[in-house]
Amino acid sequence: MTRFFYRDPIAAAWMARQFGMRFRSWEQEFEFRPDDLEFAVQRAMRDERLKQPPIRVHPDSVGLLEPREGDLVFTGLKFEYELVWRDHKGLRIDTSQGTRYPTGLMVIQRNGKPFIWPEAA
């Protein structure tokens, strides 16, 4: 199973605040509270050289990574970004290669806000 994570606690804090993403510690299975993320952000801002363990996306929040209607997604085709829309068959995007389903694509903007894509392991 793919594990998604952020190395940057500021990115994780943004995703938690703007999109309700939840997180777990990398080593243990405890869930990060908002105070934990705030502490990690303050620690990172004090000393950027300080190596912190990755902040893992909670399994309950992985669904947030799926494209939704109105999302702007990166199609993987030479800097091509497209808006996800819905028709009678479901979610779609239009690309230079034609219309297709938006599965496995990277969301870069949701509700007009930057959507910071996590790393995967």
Confidence at 34, pLDDT banded by 50, 70, 90: low
Query: Bigger pLDDT: 100 or 42?
Result: 42
pLDDT over 80 (residue 90):
no
- Compute the distance between CA of residue 40 and CA of residue 46 in angstroms, rounded to an integer: 10
pLDDT over 70 (residue 80):
no
| C-alpha to C-alpha distances, 105 to 7, 43, 73, 92, nearest whole angstrom | 21, 32, 6, 11
Into how many domains does the chain fold?
A: 2
Residue range(s) defining the domain that contains residue 40: 4-65
End-to-end CA distance of the chain: 9
Confidence at 117, pLDDT banded by 50, 70, 90: very high
Q: In this predicted structure, what is the pLDDT of residue 79? A: 60
Assess whether 8 and 45 both reside in one domain.
yes
In a domain, 120, yes or no: no
